Every structure is written in C-alpha cells, then in structure tokens.
Amino acid sequence: MNEVFAAIESPETDAFISSESSLRRMFLKLESNPSVRQLVRALQGGEIQPEIVLSRMGKLASRTIDFRFRNPSDTALAAYLYAIAVATQDSLYLACRIALVALNTWLSKRIVEGIIGKWSNDYTSSTQYFALPPEYGLKPGVFQGRQFADTFNDFIQIPATFSEKPNLFCSQDSSQ
C-alpha cells in the first residue's frame, strides 16, 4: 500500500486535482483518481486498517507549514478523508478532527463541511451547498454523542450569519 500512499501524497495528484476550477470538479477528480479508488477498495476489503490512514493523516496534519501559503498536504488530506468517508465510517469522526487540525487547508475543510452538513441539519454555513452524495451518507450513530459542531466552529470560526444562499437570479438582487 505504500505506493498508493505515495501516489496520493504526490505532487502529481495535487497538481491534477488542483487544476480544476470548482469544488465539484475537484471532487470528481478525487473520486476518479486511481490511487484513491485503490485505497477505498483496500479499506472496504479490510486489506488495510483505517488506523493506518489516520496515522498518515496525522503526520500530514502536524507538518510544519509556511503560513503564507495553502497547506501543501491539503489535497492528500482531502483524499484520505474522502476514502474513509466512502469506505468505512467507523473512523470518520477522528478523520475529520485530524483534517481540521491542519492549518491553511481548503479542499479538506470543504469535505469536512460536507460530512458535517450531512450529519447536522441545524448547522448553518456553506455546508448547504456541498454534501457528500447519498450513497456515501453517514451510517446512523457515527457522530452520536460527539460535540463535533462546536469543535468545528472553533477551528474555522464561521460567523453565525453565514447561512445565506447566493442569489441565483438577477431579479433577487434588486432588494440589495
């Protein structure tokens, strides 16, 4: 599996996913990436334990970064998070926590948002625009009893008013 991990963390994977121009496009690229698919299969088949992936995530998330720039491990963290969300949700809570520890990330935070959005209906943020597909929906009880939303808010400090959907039609803007 080391080759798979190396491929997921490689600059090539980062470059190919980052060349896309929306969260949706990046997500599609992530979904179709051969190494990510291989990792999902290995997790589903029990060839690899989620703890190994969590450990890789932990190493990436705790790396020292240059705060002026996006976290260079963002894409890899997003890929691991996605693989765990799809393959085995037993470790999903921990995976989200680890992903949120990494600073200056973007893609992995959006995926955490998607996961939390699915879980918490009263969570008001741009989560409303991004949810993991239903087939990846959370198993009941994955986050039961967890104080996850508070932790999440602590990390990214979303204002309480962050619930407005973007206007879709010109006519709606006349009121602004």
Partner 1 sequence: MPSHLDRYVIGLGSTQDPKRLALQTKCRWDIPNAPLLARSPAEMKTAYAIHKKEHLTLRLRSMRSEYNCVGLVFGSRRTAVDIEDVLKIFADDGYRSISNDEAQNGDVVLYETRKGPAHVGVLWDRLDPLLKIPVVLSQWGLDGEYFHAIEDVNDEWRYRISIWTERLIHP
Residues that bind partner 1 (CB under 8 A): 11-12, 14-16, 18-28, 31, 66, 68-70, 72, 104, 106, 110, 125-126, 129-131, 133-134, 159, 161-170, 173-174, 176
Q: Is-contact 98 104, C-beta < 8 A?
A: no
Q: Which is nearer to partner 1, 49 or 162 (CB)?
A: 162
Q: At CB < 8 A and 24+ separation, what contacts does 46-55 make?
A: 47/1, 48/1, 50/84, 50/87, 50/88, 50/90, 50/91, 50/95, 51/91, 52/1, 53/80, 53/83, 53/84, 53/91, 53/95, 54/84, 54/91, 54/94, 54/95, 54/98
Q: Which is nearer to partner 1, 41 or 70 (CB)?
A: 70
The tokens 């935070």 sit on which residue? Answer: 109
Q: Which is nearer to partner 1, 18 or 153 (CB)?
A: 18
Token pair recorded at residue 67 = 């705060």
Question: Please, what is the minimum distance in Å from the beta carbon of residue 167 to partner 1?
Answer: 6
Rounded-to-integer distance, Cα 27 and Cα 132, Å = 10
Q: Which is nearer to partner 1, 144 or 171 (CB)?
A: 171
Question: Please, what is the minimum distance in Å from the beta carbon of residue 158 to partner 1?
Answer: 8
Rounded-to-integer distance, Cα 94 and Cα 100, Å = 10
Question: Please, what is the minimum distance in Å from the beta carbon of residue 51 to partner 1?
Answer: 29
Question: Please, what is the minimum distance in Å from the beta carbon of residue 143 to partner 1?
Answer: 21
Q: Which is nearer to partner 1, 120 or 136 (CB)?
A: 136
Question: Please, what is the minimum distance in Å from the beta carbon of residue 118 to partner 1?
Answer: 11
Rounded-to-integer distance, Cα 32 and Cα 38, Å = 10
